[in-house]
Amino acid sequence: MKGSNIDDDTLWPLSTRFPPLSVIAKTQQKRHFHEFLRRAVFGLARNQRLRRIIGRQMHEATEQWKQTGKPARVFTEFAYETKKTKKSGWERERRVAAKAEHIDGKENPRFVVTSLASERWAAQELYEKLYCARGEMENRIKEQFSLFADRVSSETMRANQMRVYLSAMAYVLMNGLRRLGLAGTELAQAQVSTIRTKLLKIGAQIRVTVRKVWISMASSYPWQGLYGEVWQNLRC
């Protein structure tokens, strides 16, 4: 859930009606924030105080980057509490998981605050498998815009609804193509816009005879080998 799209007036009844529910959310809202922290995972804005806490891990990540030249990550966790003021601040210490990362010659620290127990979710697993999965879900939603899900300019609501349905069905087909036809190829992790451009949006000459429809593609098409591999994968 994203705070810019769903406000706390929506999330608050959800968390109170279903107390066992863990709400994995990204929010800019502050109202009821303390209550959500009892059952949630939130991104925590970095500051100099947090940076000092993970100083040793950041140094370790930097040394790894210098040795390998590749991005290096070191994970840790600690108890943290913001300073209490009249208008803000936490009422107690909370668990913070931190990623000390050095990438492309610069530091890239990230922090998440959570109520989930470390026995169930270690720091690295919490960040990579749980928190980052939220961002991956957002990416999949954004992919649908490549298939014109945002084109809802028809006169009637029903017509616009049909256009969104068609876009959603196109995404299901494209995702199936990526999962089955492109498995093991260079486009196995490609976005649907790339797949559409390289494999589907291709110029060809069409000739219709009595018994057949002939599709002649250009001999200069650069992804002929990939196209044939996808064809074989889908026929198996």
Per-residue pLDDT of 226-236, as tens digits, reads 988 998 988 86
Please enumerate in sequence order all residues whose Cβ is within 8 A of that of 112, keeping only pairs 6 or more positions apart, or say none.
41, 42, 43, 44, 96, 97, 126, 127, 131
Shared domain check, 73 and 48:
yes
What is the distance between the alpha carbons of residues 40 and 24, in angstroms, rounded to a whole number? 5
**Given pLDDT bands bounded at 50, 70 and 90, which one contains residue 160?**
very high
Shared domain check, 193 and 94:
no
What is the distance between the alpha carbons of residues 136 and 151, in angstroms, rounded to a whole number? 23
Shared domain check, 160 and 211:
yes
The answer to whether 42 touches 36, Cβ cutoff 8 Å, is yes
Average pLDDT score, the chain = 83
Report which of 191, 41, 45 is spatially closest to residue 114, judged by C-alpha positions: 41
Q: Read off the pLDDT of residues 100-152 as tens digits, 9 standing for 90 and up.
A: 999 988 999 999 998 888 888 899 999 998 888 877 777 778 888 888 888 88
Residue 157 domain-assigned?
yes
Sequential DSSP letters for 125-150: HIIIIIIHHHHHHHHHHHHGGGGTTT
Shared domain check, 157 and 114:
no
Number of domains the chain contains: 2
Please enumerate in sequence order all residues whose Cβ is within 8 A of that of 52, keeping only pairs 6 or more positions apart, or say none.
none
- Residue-level pLDDT at 117: 87
CA atoms within 13 A on the CB side of 164: 11
Shared domain check, 203 and 116:
no
What is the distance between the alpha carbons of residues 110 and 128, in angstroms, rounded to a whole number? 11
Shared domain check, 20 and 128:
yes
Residue 33 domain-assigned?
yes
Shared domain check, 159 and 111:
no
Please enumerate in sequence order all residues whose Cβ is within 8 A of that of 229, keeping only pairs 6 or more positions apart, or say none.
185
Shared domain check, 158 and 61:
no
Tokens encoding 171: 């995404």
- CA dihedral 201→202→205→206, nearest 10 degrees, is -40
State which of 135, 162, 190 marks the end of a domain: 135
CA-only gyration radius of the chain, Å:
24
Predicted structure pTM score: 0.57
Domain hosting 36: range is: 8-135
Shared domain check, 225 and 123:
no
Residue 141 domain-assigned?
no
At 161, the amino acid letter reads Q
Of 188 and 20, the structure prediction assigns the larger pLDDT to 188
Span 155-182, mean pLDDT? 91
